[in-house]
Structure 1
Amino acid sequence: MELPTTLPVLLLLMALSVVWACPDGCQCRGSTVQCVGLSNFPMPLPSSATKLYFSKCSFNSLEPEHMTNSLDLLLIKESLLREVRPGTFNSTPHIGSLTLTGTQLQDLPEALLKNLQKLEALTLSINNLLVLRPQWFSLLTELRRLDLSRNLFTAVPVETFHPLKQLSYLSLSGNKVSQLSRETFKGLSQIITLRLNRNMLQELQVGTLDDLVNLGELSLQDNQITHLHRDLFSKTPKLQKLFLSNNKITSLPEGIFLNVPNLSQISLYENQLETLGPRVFGPTALKELWLYDNKLSRVENDTFRNLTQLRLLVLSRNRISYVSTSAFRGLEQLGEVSLHTNLITTLQAGTFQVLPRLVNISLENNFIKSLPRGFLQGLTHLGQIDLRNNSLPNLPQESLDALTASEEVLLQQNPWRCDKDILPLRDWLKQYPSKTNQSLVVCDAPSSLNGEMIALLADENLVSLSSTQEPVLTSTEKRRRPHTPPAKRSTPSPAVKTTPTSEYEKVTRSGQGNTGSISRDISITLIVIAVVCTVIISTVIISCICWRRNKSGTGNIGRRSTNSVL
C-alpha cells in the first residue's frame, strides 16, 4: 500500500546523489570541486558544479563530455594535459575565467573559445604553445585579462589583439618574440599593464604605444633593445612604472621622459649606457633611479636636476672617473647615493653640499687618494659613508673633522701608511671608537707594522718613511682590476721556507766527500717543501673561489643591503 509513496522518494534521492556526488580523489565544497593527482578526468561531475580546479593530474586530454553547462570557472595547472579537443567548450557559455597553465599543450583548436563570450580572464601561461592564433580571441569582446607568458611564441600577428577592446592586462613575457608591428596594440586604450619582458625584442617602433593612453606599467626588461625613440612615450601620460633593465641600450635621447610626469619607478640597470644628458629626464614623480652596471664615465652638471622627488640614486659598477660639482643639483630629497665600484680618484669639494637630506654615501671600491676640504659640509643627517677599498694612505685633520658628522665611517682595506702622517687618524679613531670597526683599520706599510691596528699604535712605532722606502701599491691595485667587482681579501699565501744561507755555506765549505749527498738531501728537502706549499696555496685558492661563487650565488639585488648594489 505504501509503495507508490516510497518509489518517488527513492528516485528523488537517487537523482540528488547524482547531482551532489563528489568524484573520488576530489574535494567538494558547495559548487566547487578541487582535484589533485588524478590519472583520469573524473566522470560524471556533479551537474551543479560551477568551479573546477585540477592540479598535478596526468590525464592527457579535455573533451566536450567532460564539461557541464553550469561551469563559470575552470583551472588546470601543473598537469600532463596535451590536447584540448575541438568543441570542448561549446556547451559552457557561462565560463568567466579559464586557466590552462603548466601543461604540455603545444597548440589549441582555432575555434576552441568561440562560445566563451563572457570570458573575462584567460591564462595560457607556462605551456609549450608554438603559434599564436588570432582566431582564439576573435569573439572574446569581454576579455579583460590575458596571460600568454612563458610559451614558445616567436611572432605576434598584427591583428591578434584588435578585438579585445576591454583588455586591461596583457602579458607576453618569457617568449621568443623578436619584433612587433606598430599596429600590434591598436585600439587597446584600456590596457593598464603590458608585460613584454624576457623576449628577444631589439626595438619598439615609434607609435607602437600611441593607443595605450591608460598604460600605467610597461615591462621591457631582459630583451635586446639597443635604442629607444625620443617620442616612444609621448602618448602615455599615465605611465608610472617602466622597466628597461638588462638590455643593450647605449644612450637615451633628450626629452624621452618629458611626457611621463607620473613616472615613479624606472629601472635602467644592466645596459650599455655611456652618457646621460641633462635633458633626458623631465619633471617626474620618480623616487628611485637604478643605473648600476652600465658604462657611464662621467656625471655632468644638472643631469638629474628635474628629479626633485628622488630618494635613491644608484650609479655603482660603472666606469665613472669624474663627478662634477653640480651633478646632483636639484635633488634636495635624496637620501642615498651609491657610487661604489667605479674609477673615481678625486671628489669635488661641493658635490654633496646640495643634498641636505643625504643619509648614506657609498664610495667603496674606487681609487680615491684624498678627500677634499669640507666635502661633507652641510650634511646634518649623514648616517654612513663607505670609503672601503680605496687608495687612502692617510687622512689629514680637516678630512677627519668632516667625517665626524657621520654616524658610521667604513675605512678598512685602504693602503694606510703608518708613519707620522697617520697620527691624526690614530687619534680620531681613539676619540670616536663607535664610528668604525677599529680592528679592521690596520697598517699596510711599513712591512714591520703591516696588519697592526692603527688605533693601538704608539708614538715610538711611527717613523718617517721616505718615498723611496717600500713602495706601496694602492689598496685597489692589490685587490682588483678596473671594472670588476672587488673580491674579499683572501688568506695570505704561506711563505716558502728555504735553507738559511749561512747553513748552506757551512755545508759547501766542508766538502770532504759529503757534498753530493748533502746537496741531494737539500734538493729533496726543497722539493718536499715546494710540494707542500703548492698544496696549501691550491687549497686556499680553491676555498676562495668556492666562497666567492657561494657569495655571488646567494646575492639578491632585489633584497637591498647597504653595500651590495647600493
Structure 2
Amino acid sequence: MMFIFKKFIVIVILLAFACINGSCESENITFHKSFNSSSDDKGQYEEVLNLEKRVRSLEQPVWQISDDRNRWVQCLEGPCKCRPEMKSLSCWQLELPDLPFGQIVPHDVQMIDLAMNQLTTLNKEAFKALPRLIEIDLFDNQIDYLPAGTFNQLYNLQYLRMHKNNMKRLPNQIFSALQKLKNIDLSNNNIEVLSEKLFKSCLNLVVLHLSGNNLESVPENIFNNLLKLEDLDLNENKLQNISVSTFKNLRNLKRLKLGQNYLSELPTGVFKGLQQLIYLNLRKNSITYVNSMLFLHLSNLRVLDLSGNDIQQIDLNAFVTLVNIKELHLEQNYISEIPEGLFRKNENLDKLFLFSNNLETLMRRSFLGLKKVSLLLLNNNLLKDFHSETFRFVPNLQKLHLDGNKLQYLPSRSLDGLIHLISIRLAKNPWHCDCTILYLAEWVSDNKQKLWDSQPLCRSPNKFGGIALMEMDFNVLCDGHWASRFHLSARLPIRPVVFPPPKTNLTTFKEIMTL
C-alpha cells in the first residue's frame, strides 16, 4: 500500500506539471497504460484510478455566478445561449471539454443545459450558489466521475438528466440534498453497483431510469423511501435475481420495466403491494415457467410483456387476477399449448400476441373469455390444425394473423363467426388444394378485400403449386363432388348419399334434403 501511495504522489506531481504545460490528456493516457501493465492488484489499480479522477475534477473550472442587475445581459456575452424570459442557460452541443470559464451565470437561473458536449467530470463547486436551479441536463457527455458534493445546496432541483455518460459508480451521498427531485435519468451509463442509501433522501421522486447499465443486482432496500415513485426502468441490465421485498414500498408505481436482463425466475410475492401497476415489462429474460402466484396482486395491470423469454409452460391460473389486462405479449417463446380456459378471466383483453411460438394446434376453448379481443397474432408457429369453433370465442376480432404456419386447410365454417374481421394474413402456409380446402377457397373469394399483405397460394398437389387460392373453385378442387357444397367436415371422406323414394307430397329438392 505504501508503494501505491508513493506512486500516487508522483502521479499528482506529474499531472500538475503536465497541466501547466497543457498536456494533461496525454499524461493521463500514459499513466493508465503504464500503471495497468505493472499492477497485479486490480483493486489497488481502481483505487488509484479513482484518485486520479478526483484530481481531474479539482482541475475543472467553475462558473462565474452573478447577482448583478445586468446579469442576464452579461450572460449573453458568453458562448452559451441565455434566455432571461425562461431563466435558462443552454450550452447544448458546443463540444465543450470543460465548463466555459468566461461564461457568466445569473444566480437565479432555473435551467442549465450542458447536453451533447465532451465533459468528463465537474468540479464539486460547479453548481454552488444556484439555489433556484430546477433542471440540469448532462445528457450525452463522457462523464465518468462526479464528486459527492456536486449537487449540494440544489434544494429546488426537480429534474436531473445524466443518461448516456460513462459513470460506473455514484458516490453514496450525491443525491442527499435533492429532496424535491422528481425525475432522475441515469440510463445508458456503465453503472455496476448502486449504494443502498443512494436515493434515501429523494422522497418526491416520481421517475427513475436506470436502463442500459451493468447492474447484476440491486440492493434489497434501495427503493424503500420512494413512496411517490411511478416509473421505474431497469431494462437492459445484467440482473440475475431480484429480492422478494425489492419493490414492497412502491405503492404508487405504475410502470415497471425489467426487460432484457438475465432473470430466469421471480420469487412469489415480488410484485405484492404494486396495486397501481399498469405496465410490466419482462421481455427478453430467461423465464421458463409462469406460475399461478406471480401476478396475483396486479388487478390493475393493463399491459404485460413476457415476449422473448424461454417460456414453455403457463399455469392455468397464471392470469386469473389480471381482470383489467388489455395487452398481453407472449410472442417469441416456446409455448406449445394453450390450456383451455387460460384467458377465462381476461374479458377486457384487446390485443393478444402469440406469434413465433411452438403451437401445433388450438383447442375449442383456447380463447375462452376473450370477448373483446380485436387483434390476435398467431403467425410463425407450427399450427397444423385447430378446432372449427376455436374463433367462436373471439367474436369481436378485427385482425388475425395465421401466416407462416403449417396449415394445409382450415376447418369448415371456422371463420364464419368473425363478422367484425377487417384483415387476415394467410400466406406462407403449405395449402393443399383439394376438396378439403374448398371452404377456405370460397371464403377467400368472398372476402378478398380482407386479405392483407399477400394472397395464399397452393403448395400442393404439384399441378396447382403457386396458383392463388382464390382462383380455385368447386369444379377444380372437388372434381364435381357436389356433396362438398353441403359443408361436409374437412378431411372426412365424401360418401355417396342415398335418398329414400320421394313421397308424393315432397316436390322440391330442398324438401328431399331435409329428410
CA contact (8 A) 2:403 2:427 kept: yes
Paired with 1:85 and 1:357, the residues of 2 have a C-alpha distance of 59
Q: What's the CA shift string for 1:422-455, capped at 9, x where partnerless?
A: 2233333344444436971221111111012233
Report the residue type matching 1:295 in the other structure: D
Q: 1:297 is aligned with what amino acid? A: Q
The 5 Å alignment of 1:358-507 reads 358-401=373-416, 406-436=421-451, 440-459=455-474, 461-462=476-477
Match of 2:258 among 232, 240, 244: 244
How many aligned positions are there? 413
Identity of matched residues, %: 25
**How much is the aligned-residue C-alpha RMSD, in angstroms?**
3.3
From 88, 110, 115, the equivalent of 1:101 is 115
Q: Does 1:137 align with 2:159?
A: no
TM-score normalised per structure 1: 0.67
Whether 2:111 is the aligned partner of 1:123: answer no
Asked if the contact 1:51/1:71 (under 8 Å) is kept, the reply is: no
CA distance in 2: counterparts of 1:140 and 1:248, whole angstroms: 37
The 3-state SS of whatever aligns with 1:313 is strand
Question: Is 1:206–2:228 an aligned residue pair?
Answer: no
Distance in 2 separating the partners of 1:92 and 1:208: 36
Normalization by structure 2: what TM-score?
0.73
- Following TM superposition, by how much is the alpha carbon of 1:352 offset from its aligned partner in structure 2, in angstroms? 1.1
Q: Is the 8 A contact 2:75 2:103 kept in 1?
A: no
For the 8 Å contact 2:343–2:368, the answer to whether it is kept is: no
Structure 2, unaligned runs of 5 or more: 1-62, 480-515
Q: 2:319 maps to what in 1?
A: 304
Query: Which residue identity is paired with 2:378?
Result: L
Residue 317 in 1 paired to residue 332 in 2?
yes
Letter in 2 for 1:237: R
- Secondary structure of the corresponding residue to residue 459 of structure 2: coil
1:331 aligned residue (346, 358, 380): 346
Tell me, which stretches of 5 or more residues in structure 1 are unaligned? 1-40, 465-566
Cα distance change on mapping 1:425 and 1:183 into 2, 3 Å? same
Within the alignment, does 1:48 sit opposite 2:70 as a pair? Answer: yes
Per-residue CA deviations over 1:146-165 (Å, capped at 9, x if unaligned) read 22222211101212111222
Distance 1:400 1:120 in 2: 58
Matched residue type, 1:202: E
In 1: Cα distance, 2:75 partner to 2:286 partner? 46
Query: Would the aligned equivalents of 2:356 and 2:379 in 1 still touch at CA under 8 Å?
Result: yes
- SS, match of residue 409 in structure 2: coil
Query: Which of 278, 283, 291 matches 1:277?
Result: 291
Larger radius of gyration: 1
Helix, strand or coil: the match of 1:422?
helix
Question: Is 2:214–2:238's contact at 8 Å kept on the other side of the alignment?
Answer: yes
Q: Write the deviation string for residues 172-221 of structure 1: whole angstroms up to 9, x where unpaired.
A: 11211011121111122111111111111111121110011111111111
Moved more, 198-207 or 91-100: 91-100
Query: Kindly tell me: are residues 169 and 434 of structure 1, through their superposed partners in 2, closer, same or farther at Cα, counting changes over 3 Å?
Result: closer
Cα distance change, pair 88–459 in 1 and its aligned pair in 2 (3 A): closer
2:486 is matched with none
1:260 pairs, out of 260, 274, 289, with 274
Q: State the distance in 2 between where 1:381 and 1:72 align.
A: 53
1:461–1:94 Cα change, 3 Å: closer
**Aligned pairs for 1:177-196 within 5 A:** 177-196=191-210
Q: Is the 8 A contact 2:176 2:201 kept in 1?
A: yes
In 1, the alpha carbon distance for the partners of 2:415 and 2:128 equals 75
**Greater alpha carbon shift after TM alignment, 392-401 vs 203-212:** 392-401
> Which shows bigger deviation, 122-131 or 395-404?
395-404
> What corresponds to 1:218 in structure 2?
232
Partner of 1:381, secondary structure, is coil
**1:458 deviation in Å?**
4.7
Which amino acid is 1:174 matched to?
N
Choose from 303, 308, 311 the match for 1:288.
303
Q: 1:425 to 1:254 in 2, by over 3 A?
A: same
Question: Structure 2: which amino acid aligns with 1:131?
Answer: Y
Cα 1:172–1:429 shift into 2, 3 Å: closer
Deviation string, structure 1 residues 12-62 (Cα, Å, up to 9, x no partner): xxxxxxxxxxxxxxxxxxxxxxxxxxxxx9xx9x9635388889x9x6xx9
Residues 431, 132 of structure 1: alpha-carbon distance in 2 compared, 3 angstrom cutoff: same
- What is the match of residue 197 of structure 1? 211
SS at structure 2 position matched to 1:429: helix
The residue aligned with 1:84 is 99
